[in-house]
Amino acid sequence: MFSKFSAVSLGKLSSVFALALGALISPLGASAQDGPQMNLQRVKLTAGMHLIDAQVAFTPEQRQIGLMFRKDMPQQEGMIFVFEQPTQQCFWMKNTLLPLTAAFVADDGTIVNLADMKPQTTDAHCSTQPVRYVLEMNKGWFAKKGIKAGSKLGGPPFEAKR
C-alpha cells in the first residue's frame, strides 16, 4: 500500500487529542515485515446501526504497512488510519491482496468520499478534501450497508473532536 500517507509533512497531535485517543487506542509497535500486521490495538466504531471492529494504524510505520499481505478479513473488521492533521490522503494497494473500499473521514466522523481499490495495484485513491482518518473495509461493505459520502461514523476517534 502506498506509504499510506500523503506527501505533506506530518505535524504533532494536539495534546488533548493525543491524550484522548491514546488512552483509548494506544498503538503497539509494528516492524517492517513480509507478513500481515495482526497485533495492532482495536477500536469499536459504528456506521449507523452497524458495528466495526477496527485495527488502528497510528504510527507512520503501521500506516505504511496497513493491510498488506492479509489474505482475508472478517466482514465486520477493518483498519482505521489515524493521521496527525487533516490533509489530502492518498492510498494505493501495492502488496495488498484483498479488494478494499477506503472511506476518507473528516474529524467529526463524516465520510467525505469512498474509493474502491483493486488488489496489488499502484493506482492512487485520494480524499477529495483534507481528512485525518481513513477507514478501510472489504470492498463493497459500505455499499451493502447503504453507507455513502455524507454518512457519519461514530466512536472514540470522532468523539475527541466534538
Closest CA to 75 of 51, 92, 58, 56: 51
Q: Over the stretch 94-109, which tens digit does the pLDDT of each residue have?
A: 999 999 999 999 999 9
**Is residue 72 included in any domain, yes or no?**
yes
Residue 144 resides in a domain: yes
Asked if residues 33 and 61 have their Cβ atoms less than 8 Å apart, the reply is no
pLDDT at position 34, please? 60
CATH code for the domain of 115 = 2.60.120.1140
The tens digit of pLDDT for each residue in 1-19 reads 444 433 333 333 333 333 3
Q: Which domain holds residue 94?
A: 15-27+38-159
How far apart are the C-alpha atoms of 32 and 36, rounded to whole Å? 10
